[in-house]
Amino acid sequence: MRPRGGLPRPTKVVGPIVGTVVALVAFAAVAHNSGSGWVQAMGSLLAGFAVAGLGGPGLACARLRVSVVTNPTDATASQPLEIEVATTAPARVEAVAPHGQATTIGAGTGRVRLVPARRGPLLWVTLEVASAAPFGLLWWHKRVVVPLARPLWVAPVPGPPDAAMLSHPTAQAELDRHRPRDARVGEPRGVRPYAAGDPQRLVHWPATAHRGELMVREAERPEAAVPGVRVVLPDDGPEGDAVAGRGLGTVVTLLTRSSPVMLATTERDGPRHEAVYTRADAARRLARAVSAGTARAVSAGAARAVSAGAARAAANPEHR
């Protein structure tokens, strides 16, 4: 997606224009009363400086292009983060949505600070770019919606743990049934043959060279049940953010005692009940969580789109 922007507009234009008009009128009065041609010539030069200084930034701002070079993938609501922005010319850049501080980017790239207010995935940022080229006499600004270099998952602000969110523990075997055996936890037990889904970093190369087949490390697996947390968002507004925050606080508290934690949430494409092993996993899961109503609306819309596509395919066989 290409960035979308509005027309440039001047900032605080009244003062500079009034000052310019007063100066030019004074020059004209002196020239046309004294008859001095050089005064008129100087006034013409002053008019040229005024046009270039007051109108030039509008053109510079219109030609200005902004892009996000890099950005982090995870953040927390109400916490500042920085993204790297590139401009085609020196400019002042300020994040508008999410809001942030203004930064002057001289040439090339610069870092812009912004503070996401809400949790959720962030694909775009609205930036206000301003230029006063070539003379710095008047700023012109415009707002540009710029896609991020990669999705940014904004986690909710962690809240206090909520015991009401605890759900039935999940047996370790049940966990293993849905996921490949993982040796991230437990005491080392030995090596075993590679199974589909094993992380590449678990490959035990000496054993592999000895056996002639891929071998991975294996650890003792605790037999204790995996605790579960269910987070049901009432809506996708501030109340839902608060619930998600408490859910995050609950999961983080459980993770300090044991890992993993089974987290049940609802996402846009339906319920999701999977283990989270770190705070970052939990934060990202809760960033993606939506309320049940949103999930139903999304699935209904998808169903309508699928049926519309099927109807068109049925009507126009050659478009299949």
Structure tokens at 40: 């008129």
Residue 47 binds to other proteins (criterion: CB under 8 A): yes
Residue 35 binds to other proteins (criterion: CB under 8 A): yes
User: In the stretch 263-292, what mask flags binding to other proteins with x, by CB under 8 A?
Assistant: -----xx--------------x---x----
Question: Which segments within 199-276 are labelled E, that is strand?
Answer: 215-219, 226-230, 261-267, 270-276
Instruction: Show contacts with other proteins in window 217-246 (CB under 8 A).
Output: none
At closest approach, how far in Å is the CB of 53 from other proteins?
7
Nearer to other proteins, 40 or 253 (CB): 40
Residue 316 binds to other proteins (criterion: CB under 8 A): no
Residue 81 binds to other proteins (criterion: CB under 8 A): no
Residue 49 binds to other proteins (criterion: CB under 8 A): yes
Helix axes 14-34, 37-50, angle to 10 degrees: 170
At closest approach, how far in Å is the CB of 191 from other proteins?
26
- Calculate Rg over the CA atoms of the chain: 30
Among 6, 72, 121, 199, binds other proteins (CB under 8 A): 121
At closest approach, how far in Å is the CB of 287 from other proteins?
9
How many Cα atoms occupy the beta-carbon half-sphere of 314 within 13 Å? 6
Question: Which segments within 106-255 are labelled E, that is strand?
Answer: 108-114, 120-131, 140-155, 166-170, 188-193, 215-219, 226-230
Instruction: Show contacts with other proteins in window 129-158 (CB under 8 A).
Output: 131-137, 151, 153
Residue 43 binds to other proteins (criterion: CB under 8 A): yes
- Angle, CA of 8, 9 and 14, to the nearest 5°: 155
Residue 10 binds to other proteins (criterion: CB under 8 A): no
| Residue 125: closest CA among 263, 5, 302, 267 | 5
At closest approach, how far in Å is the CB of 245 from other proteins?
19
Backbone angles phi, psi at 76, to 5 degrees: -125, 140
Among 18, 305, 311, 313, binds other proteins (CB under 8 A): 305
Task: Kindly determine how many residues on this chain lie close enough to bind other proteins according to the rule CB under 8 A.
Answer: 60
The answer to whether 149 touches 70, Cβ cutoff 8 Å, is yes
At closest approach, how far in Å is the CB of 258 from other proteins?
22
| Residue 280: closest CA among 97, 77, 73, 8 | 73
Nearer to other proteins, 33 or 200 (CB): 33
Chain-centroid distance, C-alpha 104: 21
Give the integer Cα–Cα distance in Å for 107 and 112. 14
Give the integer Cα–Cα distance in Å for 148 and 132. 26
At closest approach, how far in Å is the CB of 263 from other proteins?
14
Among 5, 53, 228, 249, binds other proteins (CB under 8 A): 53
Chain-centroid distance, C-alpha 1: 15
At closest approach, how far in Å is the CB of 254 from other proteins?
21
Residue 298 binds to other proteins (criterion: CB under 8 A): yes
| Residue 157: closest CA among 119, 102, 131, 212 | 119
Residue 83 binds to other proteins (criterion: CB under 8 A): no
Q: Which stretch binds other proteins (CB under 8 A): 179-187, 204-212, 237-245, 302-310?
A: 302-310
Give the integer Cα–Cα distance in Å for 119 and 288. 9
At closest approach, how far in Å is the CB of 248 from other proteins?
16
| Residue 134: closest CA among 75, 55, 65 | 55
Residue ranges that bind other proteins, judged by CB under 8 A: 1, 4, 23, 27, 30-49, 51-53, 56, 73, 90-92, 104-107, 110, 120-124, 131-137, 151, 153, 268-269, 284, 288, 298, 302, 305, 308-309
